[in-house]
Structures are given as structure tokens and as C-alpha cells.
Amino acid sequence: MERTLVLVKPDGVQRGLVGEILARFERKGLKLVGLRLLEVDLDLAERHYAVHAGKHFYDGLIGFITSGPVAAVALEGPDAIATVRRMVGRTMPNEAEPGTIRGDLGISGLRNLIHASDAPETAVTELDLWFGADALVDYERAIDAWVVAEEPERG
């Protein structure tokens, strides 16, 4: 199983879309293993966006992510990173496909509702940054047998 980070950004929280966004992931079959609502301080914002430091859009990212509450979400499932990225859609909402979160709910640029980890290494780093080592929950769901197919043994 793979884990990934999703942030519902301040525009998503302010617009009351956290539940709808989380519901899409849960309906897909992804398992919620961590959830926090928090005000993002400058230090956390700078650490999260460190890869973009010095780029022309960096200050805008920092200003936006610290402008209001953020819902940090940890999800788990087979190919969770790629699955979430497909569901989120292209960065610019006006270019995102209908059916994606950004395509259906977003309208412009930095106000793109959501962040999702882009690679396994990034997911590990981001989950640790936003949740810490012991904050995620391991548990079994009764529906997992209906959501995740077991692979046949190869001999």
C-alpha cells in the first residue's frame, strides 16, 4: 500500500469543499489514515515549498498557503499517489479536465483548491512534515476486501 499527502488549501476550506473533496477520495476506495485542520505558519510553509524557493511564484505560494486554515489529509491505497494526482487534475483549474477536482470545482491559478504529493519520496517527506512520525493511523476496514483485489500468487 502507498500513502500520500493531500492539502485542501485555504480556498477549499473557505468555500466549504473539504467534505466534498474527501468524499471523492473515499468513494474511490482510498483510506483516510490522517486528518488535521491547521493554520500554516511561515516556517511550515517555507519547508513545504522549499523546492520552489527563488522561483517567481514562490512568494505567492507562501502568502496563499498561510492565508487561512488548511486541511491536511493522509490517504492510503494501491498506487495512491498516481490515483490522487489523476483525481486532482492539472494545476491550472481552467486547463483541468471535467471530472477532476480542479476541473469541477476550481476556477483560477493559485486558487486551485488542493495540493497532492507528486512522487513516493515527496509523499514520505511531506507526510512527515505535516503529520510527524506517529500521527498516522493503521487500521483494517471491512470494505478493503471489496475495494482492493488480492493478487494471485505466482509460482
* 56 counts as catalytic: no
Instruction: Kindly state the helix (H) or strand (E) to which residue 6 belongs, with its residue range.
Output: strand 2-8
148 assigned to some structural domain? no
Contact 90, 97 (CB under 8 A): yes
pLDDT at res. 147: 85
pLDDT at res. 55: 95
Q: What is the pLDDT of residues 24-69, one digit of tens each?
A: 999 999 999 999 999 999 999 999 999 999 999 999 999 999 999 9
What global pTM score does this model have? 0.91
Between CA 139 and CA 141 the distance in angstroms is 7
How many domains, in total, are found in the chain?
A: 1
Nearest to 3 by CA among 57, 84, 62: 84
CATH code (residue 39): 3.30.70.141
7 assigned to some structural domain? yes
Is the predicted pLDDT of residue 14 greater than 90, yes or no?
Answer: yes
pLDDT at res. 107: 87
pLDDT at res. 146: 86
Q: What is the pLDDT of residues 71-104, one digit of tens each?
A: 999 999 999 999 999 999 998 999 999 999 999 9
141 assigned to some structural domain? no
Q: What is the pLDDT of residues 95-150, one digit of tens each?
A: 999 999 999 999 887 789 999 999 999 999 999 999 997 899 999 998 888 888 77
Query: 97 is in which domain, residue-wise?
Result: 2-134
Q: Indicate which residue of 48, 52, 56, 115 is catalytic.
A: 115
